[in-house]
Every structure is written in structure tokens, then in C-alpha cells.
Amino acid sequence: MTINLYSFVGMYDRVLTTAAHLLAKGAEHAKATGATESDMLGWRLIDDMQPLGFQLMVVCNFSRQWLARAADLPVPADVGADLSVAEFQAAIAEAKAYLATLTPAQFEGRDDVPLTVTIGGDMAPTLPAGQWVSVFATTNLYFHLSTAYAILRSKGVEIGKIDLFAGGL
């Protein structure tokens, strides 16, 4: 299946911009309501789901790491989930800066290149790079962005659907 893998660079950049926007709105709300940043980053949608900080961590990591794998570049180091708001904003900016270094030539002819990646600790499927990015990575990226949005909405942050397009269309 032929995919323009480079087109995901712009998409992931928009996701990162939206994550930064949502984080800023959440921090503003937390401050206005007397919640600490740490409390806010620990907010969960439901008890058995990961907190806001985890959701942001995945957005930062997946946006860089999956495109690096697809382009056969060194995979950037993980961003942790225990960052402050300022550190998450910096990590998002760094992820955007990384994406800005990627070029179309790095992705040429890589759609069907098989990648084997260990996920969940015990699964190591081999899939074409295009499938990893277009299905697995992108679905996960939007899941965690949407979960961050839902966490913030559930805590009373004044955001709406339009805020999911803060990075543009």
C-alpha cells in the first residue's frame, strides 16, 4: 500500500500544537481553580486510565519515534510522564523542532519496508512502515490526544471541539 509517509509529519506537528494548546488551557484552569500543576497532570478520566501527564507523554513520544522508525532514523529518547507543565511545553516544542528536520527524501520508498517493533512488552509484529504509521501510530496518537481533551473537559476546562483544531486543518 503506497502512502505518503512524509504527509504525517505535518499531521503530527498539528497534533503537537493542539496538545500544547490543551495543556495551556488546562494549566490556566488549574491555576484559576486552585489546583496545582501536579494535580492537573495527575487528573484521570476514570480511575483505571492513565493520567493527563501520561497522555501528553505518549503524544510527544509517538509523534517523533514512529516517524523516525518509518524513515530508518535513530529513535529519539522517551519523554517521561513525570514532567511539569513547563517541561511538557518544552518537550512539545522539541518534538515540533525534530519534525521540522525531517524531509520527504527520508521517507521515499519506505512505505512497504517491514518493521518489527516490540509493543506491550511481549508482542513484536512485523508490519510495513506505512501500516505502522497510518494505522497503529496515528490511531494511538489521536487516542491519547482525545483522552487528554476528555480529561480536561471532565475537570471543567472550558474547551470545545474547535480546540482539537488548534494546530490547524
Which pLDDT tens digit goes with each residue over 109-151?
999 999 999 988 889 999 999 999 999 999 999 999 999 999 9
Write b or e for each residue in 71-80: b if 16 or more Cβ atoms lie within 10 A of its Cβ, otherwise e. Answer: beeeebeebe
| Domains of the chain and CATH, by start | 7-165 (1.20.120.450)
Give the total residue count for the chain: 169
Cell of 91: 518537550
Instruction: List the chain pLDDT tens, one digit each, 169 residues.
Output: 567 999 999 999 999 999 999 999 999 999 999 999 999 999 999 999 999 999 999 999 999 999 999 999 999 999 999 999 999 999 999 999 999 999 999 999 999 999 999 988 889 999 999 999 999 999 999 999 999 999 999 999 999 999 999 998 8
User: CA 63, CA 101: separation in Å to the nearest integer?
Assistant: 13
In sign, the C-alpha dihedral spanning 38, 150, 79, 48 is positive
CA 130 and chain centroid, separation: 18
Residues 6+ away with beta carbon under 8 Å from 79: 57, 60, 61, 91, 95
